[in-house]
A = this chain, B = another copy of it.
Amino acid sequence: MNFLLPIIENIKPLDEEWFKFAEAKQQQLTKPPGSLGRLEEIACRLSAIQKTLHPTVEKRRIVIFAADHGVASEGVSAYPSEVTAQMVANFYSGGAAINAISKTVNAELHVVDIGVASNIPIGNIEDNSNIRLINHKIRSGTNNMTYGPAMTESDLCMSLQTGLEIAQQAKEDGVTLIGLGEMGIGNTTAATAITAALTDLPPNQITGRGTGADDTTYKRKIEVIERSLKVNSPNKNDGLDVLRKVGGLEIAGLCGLCLGAAASGIAIVTDGFIATSAAAIAVRVCPTLASYIFASHLSQEPGHAALLNLIGLEPLLDLKMRLGEGTGAALAVGIIAASVAVFNEMATFKDAGVKDSEKILPA
């Protein structure tokens, strides 16, 4: 994947000087030092990413990659593959959870069909200006990874390039914060296989029920993940090998988006388990990228904590969610926006005529 090399080279370590400038600015704002907790760190990190003391997340976008999974035919999900296409239509018509939540935080919503297998039933839906549906279909879902790699080299390459293109478009549109979203029946199976490969944790410890698998489905899911890993022997030190063999088209698209966003100085906010598996692959490919990521929430999927731990990120929220679609990312966008508003809009002790504590220690 030589085309990634210039991208990776452009992902610079966080600018420590700007981070320190931002920390110094935080000390001058009319609040006891450190009293806004994690909100303070968020603004400092955005300052370092954007190299400014007036960071902006005004233009924020949730990007959902949607694709199907060959492995779904093994019966690993509570829903059939065609629900992927139906949910994409639901996004387009504005009826999904992510539509409602992204509106509350003024985030744009882009949905990329990178590999949906069924026809997307949007024939009767009026054009929806609140959401962009982008066709980048590479193929109709992955291969069944229990028989061999989920993707060919060419599939993987095109998926990553799609992600890079979406990042480039975001850059041109002035987006400074991208939330990751995904839709794909069967994709917790892929994400769990990725997690097992990257962390060496056994599948039975990190497999969850996805959208709500019953006991039989759940047991089968673990067995399917174990079989996929055995058949494919992904190389844990080679993130892209793991991605190609046991990943998915939407996960690869998100991975490319992470790399492209960070290379363009765009901050990233993860969603749940699947989006984080994409981010974890991107971090394995380029460890420096981790500084550009904000972890939105801790999913109920048991593998998620292991992935966040691997990347070294602490989630902002823990609301017992497990939906995906970018819903956790969108909620975290609200927190990040608040952190930036505080940093940009608060008065300093001097401006407000408020006594600073250092000058007035009690007798």
**Chain A residues in contact with chain B, CB under 8 A?**
29-39, 75-80, 82-83, 86-87, 89-90, 93-97, 99-101, 103-105, 121, 211-212, 214, 217, 300, 316-323, 327, 330-331, 334-335, 337-338, 341-342, 344-347, 351-355, 357, 360-363
Chain B residues contacting A89 (CB-CB under 8 Å) are 352-353
B30 x A354 contact (CB < 8 A)? no
B101 touches A342 (CB 8 A): yes
This protein's copies in its complex: 2
Contact indicator A90/B347 (Cβ below 8 Å) = yes
* Contact A338 to B342, CB < 8 A, known contacts A211-B357, A354-B90: no
Q: Are B90 and A37 in contact (CB under 8 A)?
A: no
Complex: A81 Cα to B56 Cα, angstroms: 35
With both chains docked as a complex, state the minimum distance between the C-beta of A299 and any C-beta of chain B, in angstroms.
9
| Given known contacts A331-B338, A341-B104, A362-B75, A83 and B39 CB-to-CB distance under 8 angstroms | no
Point out which of A217, A317, A319, A331 has the most chain B C-beta atoms below 10 A from its C-beta: A319
Contacts of A95 in B (CB 8 A): 30, 345-347, 351-352
Q: How far is the CB of A341 from chain B (nearest CB, A)?
A: 4
Contact call B321/A35, Cβ cutoff below 8 A: yes
The complex places the Cα of A21 from the Cα of B211 at a distance, in Å, of 23
- Chain A contact residues, majority secondary structure: loop
Cβ B36 vs Cβ A80 within 8 A: no
Further 4 A-B residue pairs, CB within 8 A, beyond A31-B323, A32-B323: A35-B321, A36-B327, A37-B319, A38-B321
CA A134 to CA B360, docked complex, whole Å: 29
* A357 near B319: Cβ-Cβ < 8 Å: no
Given contacts A36-B327, A78-B357, A86-B355, contact A319 B345 (CB under 8 A): no
| Contact yes or no, A341 B101, CB < 8 A | yes
Residues of chain B within 8 A of A214, CB atoms compared: 361
Question: Is A105 a contact partner of B334 (Cβ separation < 8 A)?
Answer: yes
Residues of chain B contacted by A35 (CB below 8 angstroms): 211-212, 321-323
Q: How far is the CB of A219 from chain B (nearest CB, A)?
A: 13
Bound state CA distance, A94 and B351, in angstroms? 12
Q: What are 21 of the A-B contact pairs (CB < 8 Å)?
A: A30-B96, A31-B97, A32-B78, A32-B322, A34-B212, A35-B211, A37-B320, A39-B321, A78-B361, A90-B352, A93-B347, A93-B352, A94-B345, A95-B347, A99-B346, A100-B338, A100-B341, A100-B346, A101-B342, A319-B335, A330-B338
Contact A212 B357 (CB under 8 A): yes
Cα distance A331–B288 in the bound complex, in angstroms: 30
When C-beta atoms are compared, the residue in chain B nearest to A90 turns out to be: B352
